[in-house]
Structures are given as structure tokens and as C-alpha cells.
């Protein structure tokens, strides 16, 4: 059938759509001939009888793939117009321009057949409603999809073959460059760049955490190189992601890796097929060539770093965190249950945040869920520490000498980076000066621009030199002779170093992990002790017992809970009322008899508890219920109850189970303020200034080490912490004469 016979007046009364598409931005930028050929399809529409006002050019999908994995707005709008019967003909260069997947291709053919819409390419004009044309169009769509598969297989095969030899040139991280030879990788010629990368690995070996390395860069103001796509190096403040990427990249360990991730298809919530990247474990990488090029670290160090990063990551559900965190529980991550072998979890209780350990493997006993094991951590930690110090005491002098050497060289990496930065800014200023002096004096427009750039480089140089001078002036690592003598003396008494105020709980945990692999704890209730099995990293085993409950003969005496209740009741009630309260709670004397006023009086006399005396003057503040106190303070009752449990405020309770009562004093009223006073900051800022977690700050507030107020107005309500600047140090700061 002739092409003109397929076109009738109903087709020409509707619009003609010219669909233009290329798969990538590179094709749009460089393959201009293909783009021009597609735009020339307007002329063919004019030849087929459509007027210029009826022709619509759809070029919104330039640089978008037709594989169906990306959204094409132009194709979607054109499909909607076809479904509404507003399109008479669609012109394209070939079938692959419309779609490279049969799902979209056959959907378009079905709509065109229903709405009597024509399709045209360079080979001819087709009517999807006719069997022969539909068959031919189906073959064209299948060939377009097959062509994409064949091209991809050819390209991927060549890429993988070259990658197996380690010669495929892909993007290298900052600090490494491709050399002239096949697969040759060399260090960056800029020593400042390589020095910054080496500093990351050195500080990680010292601090043991990617976050601590990042905080070290931030606190010291040390810049880190960032390479642009054009190869230019920019010095910026490093992010945590940048530090973590350096530590986890195998290229820095001298290895060539390819295929570390895999593209996977999935159906999203809207029903569209999309791609996502799946990072693979190391044993599933397509190519891994060790010792391919010189690296900043060796492969063994790289694997140890990955294991350390994995331990620092948040643990899965119902597993203990093995990373070193803040907190006084020294065996966190090391203690395991002697019954089921699980890692013990840590808890803190009381106003002093006393640590303890428990195994969350609960067992159903008599219809109740009981913990597999739970015990306090103070005595256990003390016993392990004593054993640890006893083991390392012979190496005390060597440790002191090593600490002295580390103290003198600890921050040399930062100073080295600042010196390289000064050298780099000096070079850039000299280069800007040469460019300024090379310009002709008559060319004032260029001369003024170069002069401005020269002045900016000089300002950068002066700022870098000033920063270097300040860092050298503030360097605190040059120990005085007195401090050297102190360190040598402490080498023979490591217990003083362990208990020093400047030795943090995090430092103590790091020291324990250097030698201890596991501490297995088995509680023996019948013997009132805990049996500890210490497994050292050398393979040695140590065993010790910790008495966690001192056995005593059971005397004939009133139980402690009754005596404690008597102490509280004696402040508010006479003996007759106290006897009635004790009897209502089914409490008895040591002989099992009910309480009377005389027996309560005898018990008070024995324990030297004063009797009740009505106060001559009423105590300060009115005694209110929690609801009434919350109403006066403008807070929710749940907030006051939470403060009572946390120990922020005090309350009175006559007996366990009785309602809490709060005395409305001026001190309590001053705790609620409309605006934060000077020196009080929000919790996130306090965490950043003190360098500790929220849990540690709350523990210090409970112990009274930090002042706190509650802001009751404004958008940012809540607690405000007063941050103190003075922090305890092991040594006094060196005097100005020694700096």
C-alpha cells in the first residue's frame, strides 16, 4: 500500500509530533549530526501535508536513555496526547529513538492502533492498526532492544577484560594519579596532598575511629584536598564522609579493585522499574589485584582498618556494641555471658550512674521473663583492672618512655600540614606576582585584575603564616624537664596514671582492648560470687572470682525496708499512726508480731530515730501534688515525673506506692525560665563544646557537675546546659618560659 494512501484528512486535522532523543549528554554535545537529522523531520511532515502550525517538536528527552529506567517527560506527554486522539502522526529517525524496551514500545503501538495514529521513520510510514505494519513495527522494537543488549555486552566485555589486567583507567582517589605506563599508578607530586592522606591513616591508627579523626581535623583547622573533575586541587574542611572514604578505599592500600558494586533492577512503590547500586562484600568483587601499585598502607593494615570500622558501626538489633563509647562501664563490648555466650549489654542506674551488665537472653520462669544474668559492674571492673595493671606492670618503664616519645611527636603531623600549606600559598603568591609583572603596563584592564589576584594570594599567604605561628606558639607537646621526670616516675606506678583525672574512660577502655580479647562472666548465686575468665590476645587464660555479695549470718532483726520506711514516716507522723501504716502493709517485727505504738517506739530507740515533733515553723514552700505543681510551673505532669526519676528535682513520698508530693520552693521556680540565661546552651551545642555524648551530659547534670535550666517559652523549649571551660588535666600547663 502506498504511504500517501495511509494518510487521510482525519490524520491531517490532528497534530504531527516529531520526537527527538539522544541517550547521553556526550552524544548531545558531540554527535550534532544525529541531532540535526532528527530536527529535519519537520520538513518531512510538511511534505506529507501537515502545516507548520500543526507540527510539534518534542525534544525534552535529549540526554535521556530510552531503556525505560529513567523518566522521560516528553515521551509521557506525547503518549497522553496519543491516548486523547490529538496526534495524527509521530515521526522519528528510527524505532530506537522512541523506545529501547518493549514495554513502552508495545504500549505506544497499542494506543496508536486504537486512536488511528500513524508512525513514520526513514524507512517508511506505518499504521499500527494494520497487521503487516504492526508485525514490522514489533520486529523493529525487538531489534532496538536487542541492539542495546548487544552493545552493552560488547562494551562490558572489553571493559572487564582490561580491568582483569589492572589497566582500566577509572577515577582514582585524591593523592593518586595515573602514570604514563599501562595500569601505572603513582603518588600525587604535591607533598601537601600526600601528607594529608598519610595523616588520616596515622591518626586513625592512634584514635581508632573515623569520627575521632574527623573531629581532630576540625578542631585543629587542618584542611584536606578535594579534587575537581578537571584535576584542580581545592583545600577544604574535610567531612566525615571524606575521611571514611579514605579509610575504606583499597586503592590507598596499593590494590586495584573493580566491580565493588552491582546495578540491580527493582520495582518502586509506583510500579516503575528502576536501578539501584548494591555494594558487594570483598569476596564478591569482580577484580582485586593486590600490590598493584605503591600505596600509603599495606594490605594487612587495610584489612585491620576495615575490621575496626566494622566494630565501630552501630550493631544489629539485640547485639552489643563493640565500639568504644563514653561511659564508665570498662568492659563494654568485652564482657560475655558465661551461660549463653552472648555479649553483655550495659546499663546505668542511680544518681551516680553506677554501671552494670546484663544478658538480654530472657527465659520464662514461673510465667515471668527473667534475665539470663544481671550484676553490678563496679567490683567486676575493679577486679579486671587490678589484674590488667598487674600483668603490664613489668612493662611500665618501657610504656613511660614510649609515652614520652609519643608526647613529643603527637601533633607533628598537624604542624607539618600547616607548613606545607604555607609553602603552597607562598608559591601561589609568587606565581600571581610573575603573571602580574609579565603583563604589559598599558593593558590596564588585565593588570588591575592580576593585581587583585596577587593581593588575594598575598592575604592567603599571610593568613597561613599567622596560623602556623599560632599553632607553633600553642604547641603543648614540648614537655618540660619536670614533666619528663613525672612521666618516668609514673612508669613505675601505672595505677596513678590509670586513676588520673585526665585519663578518660574512653582511654581506659582502649588500654584494656590492647591486651584483652574477652571477659567471660558467670554468676554463681549460691556461692555469692562471680567467676571471671579473662582471655588475652596472646592466647593466655586468666581466672578470678569476684565476691559480689558478702555472705553474712542472718541476724534476728527487722528488715531494712521496714526500717527505712520507719525513718521516712517518723518525720511526718507519731508512733500510733506509723504502726497503723506498717500493719496495713502487712509488715511485722523481727519476731513476726504486728506493730504497736510501743513496738514502734522501741524500734526507733534502738536505731536512734528521732520521734515526730510538729514543726514550730512550717517548712519553706507549699507541698503540692504533681498535677498542682505542674499547673503552677506551666509544665506537663509527665515532665515533672520524668525529672523526679532522673533526679533533677526532689520529691516526697510517704511510702512506696503513695503519690509523689513536690514542695514549691523558690529554687524550683528559678529552674523554669522564659529565656535562656547567658552561658547556657542547648543540648546539641553542649555536646559539641564538651565533646561527649548526651548520656554523659545527663549523668553530669544528675551529679550536680553541670547547671541546668528549663526554657518554657519560644519555639525552642527544653533544657539549657551551662558549659564550664575548665577541664581537669594530668599535668599543669607549661609556663610561658617553657613554650
Residue numbers annotated as active site: 23
Contact 348, 378 (CB under 8 A): no
Say how far apart CA 186 and CA 188 lie, in whole Å.
7
CA distance 477 to 410: 7
Q: What share of the chain is helix, strand, coil (3-state, %, to 5)?
A: 45, 15, 35
* Rounded Cα gap, residues 263 and 278, in angstroms: 6
Q: Are 419 and 222 contacting, i.e. CB atoms less than 8 angstroms apart?
A: no
- Would you say 75 and 98 are in contact if contact means Cβ atoms under 8 Å apart? yes
Q: How far is CA 667 from the centre of its chain?
A: 39
449 by DSSP, 3-state: which?
Answer: helix
In whole angstroms, how large is the CA radius of gyration of the chain?
Answer: 39
Which bin fits 58, alpha (ψ -120 to 50), beta or left (φ > 0)?
beta
Q: What are phi and psi of 387, to 5 degrees?
A: -65, -40
Surface-to-core class of residue 4, CB atoms within 10 Å of its CB (0-12 exposed, 13-18 middle, 19+ buried): exposed
- Reference 89, options 178, 207, 9, 163; nearest CA is 9
Orientation of helix 191-207 relative to helix 240-248, angle to 10°: 90
Beta carbons within 8 Å of 505's beta carbon, 6+ residues apart? 326, 327, 328, 330
Q: Are 200 and 175 in contact (CB under 8 A)?
A: no
Which residues is 267 bridged to in the sheet?
A: 273
Q: Taking a C-beta distance cutoff of 8 angstroms, is the pair 137, 119 a contact?
A: yes
Q: How far is CA 63 from CA 60, 193, 266, in A?
A: 9, 36, 23
Q: Print burial letters for 562-594: b (CB count within 10 Å at least 16), e (below 16).
A: beebbeebbeebbbeebbebbeeeebebeeeee
The Cβ of residue 412 has, within 10 Å, a number of other Cβ atoms equal to 12
Please report how many Cα atoms fall inside a 13 Å half-sphere around the Cα of residue 603, on the Cβ side.
28
What lies within 8 Å, CB to CB, of 418 at 6+ separation is 222, 464, 467, 468, 471
Of 173, 176, 169, nearest to 249 (Cα)?
Answer: 173
All three cell numbers of 456, joined, read: 588575594
Long-range contacts of 685-690 (CB under 8 A, 24+ apart): 686/721, 686/723, 689/723, 690/723
Q: On the CB side of 158, how many CA atoms lie within 13 Å of its CA?
A: 6
The neighbouring-strand residues paired with 194 are none
Amino acid at each position: 500500500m502506498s504511504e500517501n494512501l495511509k494518510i487521510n484528512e482525519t490524520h491531517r486535522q490532528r497534530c504531527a509530533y516529531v520526537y527527538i532523543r539522544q541517550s547521553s549528554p556526550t552524544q548531545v554535545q558531540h554527535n550534532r549530526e544525529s541531532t540535526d537529522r532528527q530536527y529535519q523531520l519537520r520538513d518531512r511532515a510538511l511534505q506529507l501535508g501537515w502545516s507548520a502550525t500543526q507540527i510539534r517538536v518534542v525534544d525534552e528527552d535529549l540526554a535521556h536513555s530510552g531503556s525505560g529506567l529513567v523518566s522521560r517527560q516528553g515521551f509521557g506527554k506525547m503518549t497522553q496526547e496519543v491516548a486523547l486522539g490529538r496526534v495524527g502522526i509521530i515521526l522519528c529517525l528510527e524505532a530506537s529513538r522512541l523506545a529501547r524496551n518493549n514495554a513502552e514500545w508495545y504500549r505506544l503501538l497499542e494506543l496508536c492502533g486504537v486512536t488511528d495514529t500513524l508512525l513514520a521513520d526513514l524507512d517508511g510510514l506505518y499504521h499500527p492498526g494494520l497487521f503487516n505494519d504492526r508485525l514490522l513495527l514489533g520486529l523493529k522494537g525487538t531489534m532496538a532492544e536487542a541492539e542495546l543488549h548487544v552493545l552493552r555486552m560488547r562494551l562490558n566485555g572489553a571493559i572487564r577484560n582490561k580491568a582483569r589486567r589492572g589497566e582500566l583507567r577509572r577515577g582514582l582517589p585524591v593523592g593518586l594519579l595515573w602514570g604514563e605506563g599501562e595500569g601505572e599508578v603513582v603518588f600525587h607530586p604535591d607533598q601537601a596532598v600526600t601528607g594529608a592522606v598519610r595523616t588520616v591513616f596515622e591518626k586513625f591508627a592512634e584514635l581508632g575511629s573515623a569520627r575521632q579523626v574527623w573531629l581532630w581535623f576540625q578542631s585543629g583547622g587542618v584542611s584536606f584536598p578535594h579534587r575537581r573533575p578537571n584535576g584542580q586541587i581545592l583545600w577544604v574542611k574535610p567531612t566525615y564522609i571524606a575521611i571514611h572514604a579514605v579509610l575504606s578505599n583499597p586503592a590507598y592500600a596499593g590494590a586495584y579493585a573493580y566491580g565493588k558494586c552491582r546495578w540491580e533492577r527493582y520495582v518502586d512503590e509506583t510500579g516503575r522499574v528502576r536501578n539501584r547500586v548494591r555494594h558487594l562484600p570483598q569476596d564478591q568483587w569482580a577484580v582485586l589485584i593486590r600490590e598493584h601499585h605503591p600505596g600509603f598502607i599495606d594490605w594487612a593494615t587495610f584489612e585491620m582498618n576495615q575490621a575496626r570500622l566494622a566494630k565501630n558501626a552501630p550493631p544489629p538489633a539485640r547485639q552489643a556494641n563493640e565500639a568504644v563509647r563514653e561511659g564508665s562501664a570498662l568492659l563494654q563490648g568485652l564482657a560475655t555471658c558465661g551461660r549463653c555466650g552472648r555479649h553483655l549489654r550495659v546499663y546505668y542506674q542511680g544518681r551516680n550512674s553506677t554501671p552494670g551488665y546484663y544478658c538480654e537472653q530472657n527465659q520464662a520462669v514461673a510465667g515471668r521473663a527473667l534475665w539470663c544474668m544481671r550484676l553490678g559492674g563496679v567490683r567486676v571492673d575493679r577486679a579486671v583492672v587490678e589484674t590488667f595493671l598487674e600483668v603490664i606492670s613489668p612493662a611500665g618503664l618501657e610504656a613511660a618512655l614510649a609515652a614520652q616519645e609519643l608526647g613529643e611527636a603527637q601533633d607533628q603531623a598537624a604542624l607539618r600540614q600547616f607548613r606545607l600549606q604555607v609553602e603552597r600559598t607562598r608559591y601561589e603568591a609568587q606565581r600571581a606576582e610573575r603573571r602580574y609583572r609579565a603583563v604589559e603596563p598599558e593593558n590596564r584592564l588585565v593588570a588591575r585584575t592580576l593585581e587583585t589576584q596577587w593581593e588575594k594570594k598575598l592575604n592567603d599567604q599571610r593568613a597561613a603564616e599567622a596560623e602556623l605561628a599560632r599553632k607553633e606558639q600553642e604547641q603543648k607537646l614540648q614537655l618540660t624537664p619536670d614533666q619528663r621526670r613525672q612521666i618516668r616516675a609514673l612508669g613505675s606506678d601505672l595505677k596513678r596514671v590509670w586513676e588520673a583525672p585526665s585519663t578518660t574512660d574512653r582511654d581506659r577502655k582502649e588500654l584494656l582492648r590492647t591486651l584483652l580479647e574477652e571477659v567471660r562472666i558467670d554468676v554463681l548465686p549460691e556461692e555469692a560470687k562471680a567467676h571471671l575468665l579473662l582471655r588475652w590476645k596472646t592466647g593466655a587464660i586468666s581466672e578470678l572470682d569476684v565476691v559480689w555479695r558478702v555472705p553474712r549470718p542472718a541476724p534476728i532483726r527487722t528488715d531494712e525496708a521496714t526500717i527505712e520506711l520507719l525513718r521516712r514516716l517518723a518525720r511526718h507522723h507519731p508512733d500510733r499512726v506509723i504502726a497503723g501504716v506498717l500493719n496495713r502493709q502487712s509488715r511485722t517485727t523481727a519476731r513476726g508480731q504486728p506493730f504497736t505504738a510501743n513496738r514502734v517506739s522501741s524500734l526507733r530507740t534502738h536505731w536512734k530515730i528521732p520521734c515526730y515533733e510538729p514543726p514550730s515553723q512550717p517548712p519553706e514552700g507549699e507541698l503540692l501534688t504533681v498535677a498542682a505543681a505542674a499547673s503552677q510551673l506551666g509544665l506537663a505532669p509527665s515532665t515533672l515525673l520524668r525529672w523526679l526519676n532522673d533526679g533533677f528535682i526532689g520529691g516526697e513520698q510517704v511510702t512506696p506506692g503513695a503519690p509523689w508530693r513536690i514542695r514549691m520552693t523558690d529554687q524550683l521556680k528559678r529552674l523554669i525560665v522564659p529565656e535562656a540565661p547567658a552561658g547556657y546552651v542547648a543540648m546539641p551545642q553542649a555536646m559539641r563544646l564538651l565533646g561527649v555524648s548526651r548520656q554523659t551530659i545527663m549523668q553530669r547534670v544528675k551529679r550536680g557537675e553541670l547547671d541546668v535550666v528549663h526554657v518554657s517559652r519560644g519555639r525552642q523549649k527544653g533544657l539549657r546546659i551551662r558549659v564550664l571551660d575548665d577541664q581537669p588535666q594530668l599535668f599543669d600547663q607549661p609556663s610561658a618560659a617553657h613554650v
